[in-house]
Amino acid sequence: MRNKVSQLIDLVQKLPDHCLDDAIGYVEKKIEENSENKPILSCPYCQSKSVTRFGRKQGKQRYRCKCCGKTYVETTNTVMCESHCGEAVWKQVIRDTIDGVPIDKTVESVGLSHPTIFRMRHKILLSLEAEEERMPTMLDGVCELDDTYVLESYKGTKIPEDYWRGARKHGAKAQKRGISNEYLSISTGIERDGEAFTKTVTRATPSKEDIITVFGGHIGKDTLILCDGDANYKALSENNECAVKNVDKNSGKGFYNINTINSYHSFIKSRYNQYRGVASKYLNRYNVLFSKTFRSDSELADEVYKKITSNENNHYHNINDVETLGLLDI
């Protein structure tokens, strides 16, 4: 089903010239009415509810806190801060991000430029990453752990002239056979019937130290970990009160199997292909997205929108954050 933003754009393009002023006036009136009917928001700086309306700023209702004296608008400290796009556009970008829709298709549907949609998407990813840091995923019960691999990518950036390998086209294969330093390891863990956690910290096969770095603080007490025989995962039982059992990777029978994480790896690879690859420096941002969207339902987009547009936690990121914050450098 086509989204409402693209439908509205199509309708406006079909309007006669003499109707445009009326349409613009009607939309502006609805935006103002919606803003006036919204309840007064508590102060995002001191959380005080003693606030008053204080004029408008860039078309948005402005408020002034009687306690700290600071002024703010409804989008202050949210992912929408300083954005000229409204709720409908942001919700569509969130839905497309969750559904794995390429940026170019989102550009076509909402009528904005590629750089704008790129920055909006990465502000969403940074907000999800901040939520993960604030409330880390904890794997409990029966969990499956394993690694999957993707080729290093300089997508969107010119490869340095003195780099150790030459540039390659989309779809090209690694120069070396097997798992080499041309591959980045995506370490994944997933509960049989619950949450997933994904992170990249190294190239090729992760060491014991890498595995502890990824999953340290994310494994609950008395957890049963099933893996495919990699001895390095035994390090988790040495540092956590959990049990690690190796199982046959190709076994699909009985209780001891890793079918769930194999399915998760297939999901990651399918999304990776939909994006036509992901620049390696942004990989951990997308790893958080993969973790949140696997097994997700239709309400996830609304939940994400509500969370990252709430002023309870600061979800504001500027363009400099998009270009520099939390980039993978290995």
Asked if pLDDT for residue 288 goes beyond 90, the answer is yes
The whole-angstrom separation of Cα 144 and Cα 225 is 6
Judge whether 13 lies within some domain.
no
Q: Is residue 1 pLDDT above 60, yes or no? A: no
For residue 124, pLDDT beyond 90: yes
Averaged pLDDT score across all residues of the chain = 87
CATH number, position 247: 3.30.420.10
CA–CA separation, 103 and 122 (whole Å) = 11
Domain membership flag for residue 277: yes
In a domain, 158, yes or no: yes
pLDDT of 252 above 60: no
Indicate whether 203 belongs to any domain. Answer: yes
Task: Indicate the angle between helix axes 300-308 and 87-99, nearest 10 degrees.
Answer: 130
Given this model, what pLDDT does residue 73 score? 87
| Residue 94 covered by a domain | no
Domain count of the fold of the chain:
1
Answer whether residue 66 is part of any domain: no
Q: Let me know if residue 159 belongs to a domain.
A: yes
Over residues 312-327, mean pLDDT: 91
Asked whether the predicted pLDDT for residue 250 surpasses 70, the reply is no
pLDDT of residue 253: 65
The share of the chain scoring above pLDDT 90, in percent, equals 44
Tens of pLDDT along 199-223?
999 999 999 999 999 998 899 888 9
- H-type alpha helices, 58-171: 87-99, 103-110, 114-134
| Nearest Cα to Cα of residue 240 among 211, 270, 200 | 211
Burial 102-139 (b: 16+ CB within 10 A, else e): ebeebbebbebeeebbebbbbbbbbbbbbbbeeeebeb
Q: What is the pLDDT of residue 229?
A: 78
Its domain, for residue 256, covers 138-305
Percent over 70 (pLDDT), the chain: 94
pLDDT at res. 314: 86
**pLDDT of amino acid 191:** 95
Phi and psi torsions of 277, nearest 5°: 90, 160
* Confidence tier at 172 by pLDDT (50, 70, 90): confident
pLDDT at 2 over 60: no
